[in-house]
Structure 1
Amino acid sequence: MSMDPQRAQLRMAVQRQPQDFIAWVMLADAELEAGDTGAGDLAAQRALQLRPGHPEALARLGRTRWMQGRHDEAAALLRQAANLVPQHPGIALWLGHALEDAGQPEAAADAYRHAHRLLPGEPYITAQLLNWQRRLCDWRGLDALAQQLRQAVAQGAAVVEPFAFLNEDSSAAEQLGCARQRAAGIASGVRALPATRVRAQGPLRVGFLSNGFGAHPTGLLTVALFEQLRLLGGLELHLFALNRDDGSAIRARLQAAASTLHDVSALPHTGIAERIRAAGVDVLFDLRGWGGGGTPAVLAMRPAPVQVTWLAYPGTSGAAWMDYVLADRYVLPDALAPAFSEQVRYLPRAFQPSDNTRVLEAVPDRVACGLPERGVVFCCFNNSYKLNPRSMRRAFAVLQGVPGSVLWLLSGPGNADARLRAAAREAGVDPSRLVFMPKLPHPVYLARYQHADLFLDTHPYNAHTTASDALWAGCPVLTAPGATFASRVAGSLNHHLGLAELNVADDAAFVATAVALGNDPRAMTALRAKLAQARADSGLFDMTGFAVDFTAQVEAMTTERGWQGR
């Protein structure tokens, strides 16, 4: 594949003038944008040799180390650069990214806040600060930041990460605008491969691109389906792993289920696209979308004739290079389809697969889990960025309506837990009624649901994999479906289980339903029994049936337009 013109020109420039510091810095940026961390490293090192200690060179080397996963080194280099040029918003922004991944969440927020002070009108920086404050449950100035971000997206000039934008109380149309703006930025720097077409004979080759092929939500959701697809035998499965082998049992199962698992974690974007093309993939599923760690530039190169977004990113790609989105009619009803740039293909079941081979481990007693010996246990093991003021207000109202109850949460980063306790106190709830569970291995975490009576969902970003976990483990999920894909996932799972009574209309109904169940042990027991029966009977966890339906959709995608490639 030919190199993009800017990189080629910069490579020629440093060959002609090897002492040109600025050219080496610019080349490092271009190589890193292309996903070539090896070449980016060499360019950054050369710049640093020419100007030892120069902040721009230190920053590029720090960014390289971050992309290589060497987060502590990245944070140290970028901190050094930021101290030398404290008025540089871009370096402050990169420092925030590195500190996030180096496990210094409060310092990351400080870096983003500093960058925002330097460039308060820059939407990308505003989005980073807003997203990280949400993660830390730091709600200071949240509404003003959110309003600024939505206005910037509406004006069409903002480059905002669509994944972070899902946390905002935005419409599906706004989410489409955000995604389109981001996709346009990617497309401007990418050359597509020559068009190809779906094979005329033999089993279809289906590719899946993800950074979650391991002990990760994507791996957990897909592994049993891939195993059933292999048994069914109608498709040839190629998994393209953007993440290295994590040594997990899930990774081993994925490797065994696939025709080939391609480790492309060390390849630049062009190399990944070439590997997909060389494998002869007919239909390529993007299992990451706009989530962190994805490679939209690879999809923009059109390595496969048919490209589909599915599962991990609950929204539209907004990208001309994606042909379909795979969904179900509850999570993406006809009224939402105009807010998706892709053509919608509907499964006749919930769009989300699940690992139905899991067995619940024995769980320690309540006290050993940090819970009181008696009383109703409400839970919400969603990530902290979903625990926004609205979701927590209604959870606190539920606690107030059910004496002796507690709310079991996943411990968040930094000082998030302390901030949530402070919010409870302000709402008139004893902070000790919030119980925090540390991050645990998935089977150990899953077993904990046996002590939870009812899962209280969040809005506008629902529980997704977490909702599947709860339901599989026998814990009902209460949700108030909204008008976006991200706010309808838990509702879709309930709908397909036949538990529509847990999909309520609004926050008032949410609180009333939870309070009624919390004060009626017989009703709670009956609900859990109904869930147990529905889990067995509904088909939500039937991966053999899912494999049949999935195969039919893949085949339909390749025939309905006669795909000649584009």
Structure 2
Amino acid sequence: MPHPPSEREQLRAAVTRQPADFIAWVMLADAELGEGDIGAGEAAAQRALQLRADHPEALARLGRARWMQGRHDEAAALLQRACQLAPQHPGMALWLGHVLEDANQPEAAADAYRRAHQLAPDEAYMAAQRLNWQRRLCDWRELDGLSRQVRNAVAQGNPAVEPFAFLSEDASPAEQHACARQRAQVLAQTLPRLPVAHVRGHGPLRIGFLSNGFGAHPTGLLTVALFEQLRAQPQLQVHLFALNADDGSGIRQRLQAAAHTLHDVCAQPHVAIARRIRDAGIDVLFDLRGWGGGGTPEVLAMRPAPMQINWLAYPGTSGAPWMDYVLADDFVLPPQREPAFSEKVLRLPRAFQPSDNTRVVAEPPSRHECGLPEQGVVFCCFNNSYKLNPRSVGRLLDVLKGVPGSVLWLLSGPGKADDRLREVAQQNGVEASRLVFMRKLPHPQYLARYRHADLFLDTHPYNAHTTASDALWAGCPVLTAPGETFAARVAGSLNHYLGLDDMNVADDRAFVDAAIALGNDPSARLALRQRLAEARDRSGLFDMAGYAADFSALLQQLARARGWQGIDAG
């Protein structure tokens, strides 16, 4: 039986029959952009504007197309004009917020999100977007109320809350599962599936990886050395599907060289990407973005590969029926927490997170050039600003109070985030000058600065992930208090597989006490750094050849259960 026409197909037919139907063109622009077909969406928006010049609905769709094209300033101008013409439209205010984020106007983006929420105060999606962006700006006004609204929406089955942003809420694994599952159900109802595919019987196992981080990005930095080592695994053939354009970085060049094929699928419609994966004959497809920004769960929902695995960049369950497995380890996802995951759990006999063990830790500029005092303990936390919530910052400031002359070195956040954190410090009896901010730097320069840091202090409920790997590789110990969720256990996993379980403490009080004790004991800090240096070489955490062998063995075992016989068959 033929499939009924999709909404997009119906709208294309409608504008063919009635080419002067303004509303149909606007709706078609939405449908095309929703499918990832930016060119078709732009054309539909332009046609709507020809029919009704300067109409806010059409301007908004063209602005959305320009945003998806990366033409952020043009997009901002179009959305601002649309909002002027339709000042009571919450959706346009929301889109304006998205565009202003990427146009590097973070405080104006916050204003737009607040406006959208004020116009639709009961809409969970508006509340969640506002909450997420205020976290990034360390703007904690009305934070508890917004968080309650978002968590209540998830509890009531509302699919509007973005699962990635929800990871920053102090929610349970079951709540995270509900959030992701509700989001996935919406996609599952609206997207077509490709015909069923099967793992091929013989030949090298074709492993695909889909990501928007194949370049100088945390995902590229974590995976590049593993992909290089997988070249030595004759049973595997690695295919990278890059949702991001070539950034010209050395990491992108290494990824290109490591893969059997790097497929550039940047800005392609979702169905085209799914067909590209299917045409490449991929047996096992890893989603390296999941519900994170820039990901394409729509592609995975079409089932382009017979086995699909959630791994690395989205630290939680996908909640999605199209994801078969999640790749983890015993610490980050212990057996008792499996019921909160929709996927079957695969575990490596080592930390689930790979890393680049070819990174060179150079000599940093002087402490003075880094903005640090010549003397005193340097605590650091180079996590993204949205992880610096009131609870995490409170315990960081308690540590500073207990270690005279110490400073806290942070990554500079967007907009007025740094000023807000300085104000919080002052309100808590800590001199604002004891917070030192580092602007975002190229990875080698950032990595070198860990040589000045005595101890990395982690956040909760969203841990350091790539930053924890960076710190440990550079010789800076990481103190963490593992929580209940996957996202709250990643730093603990790294410590565990290093053999430094004493750096995983029970709660906030133990965290503050341990940091203060180390901060006031130079010999203990030195001994800890020596233990870390030995563990780095001995533990296997950074052994990517060993990781590649374990990874290959696991995938071959999975494939053989599906009838694959290897390269010697046939």
TM above 0.5, one fold? yes
Cα deviation, residue 557, structure 1: 2.2
- Work out the CA distance in 2 between the residues paired with 1:495 and 1:339: 22
- Work out the CA distance in 1 between the residues paired with 2:58 and 2:4: 24
- Work out the CA distance in 2 between the residues paired with 1:375 and 1:3: 69
Aligned residue in 1 for 2:221: 220
For the Cα contact (< 8 Å) 1:462–1:486, is it kept in 2?
yes
1:458 correspondence with 2:459? yes
1:280 correspondence with 2:281? yes
- Work out the CA distance in 1 between the residues paired with 2:383 and 2:47: 44
Which stretch shows the higher mean deviation, 409-418 or 63-72? 63-72
1:369 aligned counterpart, secondary structure: coil
What is the letter of the counterpart of residue 343 of structure 2?
E
For the Cα contact (< 8 Å) 1:4–1:189, is it kept in 2?
no
State the identity %. Answer: 74
- Work out the CA distance in 2 between the residues paired with 1:367 and 1:539: 36
- Work out the CA distance in 2 between the residues paired with 1:288 and 1:233: 27
Cα deviation, residue 554, structure 1: 1.1
Aligned residue in 2 for 1:151: 152
Matches within 5 A, 1:321-340: 321-340=322-341
1:53 correspondence with 2:62? no
Give a deviation string over 1:365-389, Cα, whole Å, max 9, x none: 1001000001000000000000000
Cα deviation, residue 355, structure 1: 0.2
Cα deviation, residue 555, structure 1: 1.5
Cα deviation, residue 234, structure 1: 2.2
- Work out the CA distance in 1 between the residues paired with 2:519 and 2:562: 52
What is the letter of the counterpart of residue 140 of structure 1?
R
What is the letter of the counterpart of residue 139 of structure 1?
W
Aligned residue in 2 for 1:440: 441
What is the letter of the counterpart of residue 75 of structure 1?
A
After superposition, the CA RMSD in angstroms is 1.1
Aligned residue in 1 for 2:242: 241
1:366 aligned counterpart, secondary structure: coil
- Work out the CA distance in 1 between the residues paired with 2:97 and 2:233: 46
Aligned residue in 1 for 2:353: 352
1:218 aligned counterpart, secondary structure: helix
For the Cα contact (< 8 Å) 1:162–1:290, is it kept in 2?
yes
Cα deviation, residue 547, structure 1: 0.2
Give a deviation string over 1:505-542, Cα, whole Å, max 9, x none: 00000000000000000000000010000000000000
For the Cα contact (< 8 Å) 1:377–1:451, is it kept in 2?
yes
- Work out the CA distance in 1 between the residues paired with 2:128 and 2:4: 31
Cα deviation, residue 2, structure 1: 8.1
Inter-CA distance 388–349: structure 2 relative to 1 (3 Å threshold): same
Which stretch shows the higher mean deviation, 181-190 or 1-10? 1-10
1:10 correspondence with 2:11? yes
Cα deviation, residue 233, structure 1: 2.4
For the Cα contact (< 8 Å) 1:306–1:557, is it kept in 2?
no
For the Cα contact (< 8 Å) 2:323–2:343, is it kept in 1?
yes
- Work out the CA distance in 2 between the residues paired with 1:171 and 1:453: 32
2:461 aligned counterpart, secondary structure: coil
Inter-CA distance 336–4: structure 2 relative to 1 (3 Å threshold): farther
1:463 aligned counterpart, secondary structure: coil
For the Cα contact (< 8 Å) 2:291–2:318, is it kept in 1?
yes
1:265 correspondence with 2:266? yes
- Work out the CA distance in 2 between the residues paired with 1:558 and 1:36: 34
Inter-CA distance 401–4: structure 2 relative to 1 (3 Å threshold): farther
Aligned residue in 2 for 1:206: 207
Matches within 5 A, 1:129-168: 129-168=130-169
What is the letter of the counterpart of residue 229 of structure 1?
L
1:325 aligned counterpart, secondary structure: strand
Cα deviation, residue 16, structure 1: 1.1
1:170 aligned counterpart, secondary structure: coil
What is the letter of the counterpart of residue 321 of structure 1?
W
What is the letter of the counterpart of residue 52 of structure 2?
R
- Work out the CA distance in 1 between the residues paired with 2:14 and 2:95: 26
Give a deviation string over 1:164-222, Cα, whole Å, max 9, x none: 00000000000000000110111121010000100001110000000000000000000
Which stretch shows the higher mean deviation, 170-179 or 8-17? 8-17
- Work out the CA distance in 2 between the residues paired with 1:141 and 1:507: 23
2:153 aligned counterpart, secondary structure: helix
Aligned residue in 1 for 2:568: none
Give a deviation string over 1:50-102, Cα, whole Å, max 9, x none: 11100000000000011111111111100110011110000000000000011
Structure 1 residues without counterparts, runs of 5 or longer: none
1:467 correspondence with 2:471? no
For the Cα contact (< 8 Å) 2:284–2:308, is it kept in 1?
yes
For the Cα contact (< 8 Å) 1:4–1:190, is it kept in 2?
no
Cα deviation, residue 132, structure 1: 0.4
Aligned residue in 1 for 2:44: 43
Which stretch shows the higher mean deviation, 480-489 or 226-235? 226-235
Q: Please give the TM-score of this superposition, normalised by the length of structure 1.
A: 0.98
- Which stretches of structure 1, 4 residues or more, deviate above 3 A after TM superposition? 1-4, 559-563
Give a deviation string over 1:389-415, Cα, whole Å, max 9, x none: 000000000000000000000000000
- Work out the CA distance in 2 between the residues paired with 1:437 and 1:53: 43
1:105 correspondence with 2:106? yes
Matches within 5 A, 1:503-518: 503-518=504-519
- Work out the CA distance in 1 between the residues paired with 2:421 and 2:271: 44
Cα deviation, residue 426, structure 1: 0.7
- Work out the CA distance in 2 between the residues paired with 1:222 and 1:233: 19
